[in-house]
Amino acid sequence: MNRNEFLNMKPGRDLDIKVALEVMGYIWLKHLLQFSAELAVKWLGTPADLKESCGMYIVVPDSQFVALKERENHAESVLNFSTEMGPASQVIDRMEELGYEYHLETEAEQNGNVYYVCFRKPGNLSGERSIGFETLPEAIVKAALNATVSNE
């Protein structure tokens, strides 16, 4: 995933899925019992979901990912990170767990506030300020993606 790809995404399901996978530690899962590769489905879940399944779900290896059909509503456990402040706050918490500091600047413009967010490692003063966004959740998730993609 490159920077322009996620910066141009609109808030919503696709952006939430990117954040879930790249920042929040979600993984693709499938049920251990499957009748055939054609009937196997995969969906996003957390390592906690995997643990709670008591062995009934397994991680989908990259080599099998394309062969399995994607469940239509696979993102049911993915929160609305890019549109709701509660889930966006979880992104801030996750980035802090990963060793990043959260920085926010708000500028008032005639159409409302514009939010500039960045995540930096402590002591790193060269952290990049994000492009301004009209909503704080969108600014948070895109800054988190920018920080994680930049460091890969």
pLDDT in tens, 55-79: 888 888 777 777 666 666 565 678 9
Are 141 and 131 spatial neighbours (Cβ–Cβ below 8 Å)? no
Residues 6+ apart with CB under 8 A from 75: 13, 16, 17, 20, 43, 44
What whole-number distance in Å separates Cα of residue 27 and Cα of residue 8? 24
What's residue 110's pLDDT?
83
Burial class (CB in 10 A: 0-12, 13-18, 19+), 123: exposed
What's residue 130's pLDDT?
72
**Ranges of the chain whose pLDDT falls below 70:** 1, 34-41, 67-76, 125-129, 150-152
- Residue extent(s) of CATH 3.30.160 domains in the chain: 3-20+79-150
Query: Comparing C-alpha atoms, which of 146, 114, 110 is closest to residue 127?
Result: 146
What's residue 96's pLDDT?
96
What's residue 20's pLDDT?
93
Residues 6+ apart with CB under 8 A from 148: 22, 23, 98
> Span 3-20+79-150: which CATH code?
3.30.160
Q: What is the pTM of this model?
A: 0.82
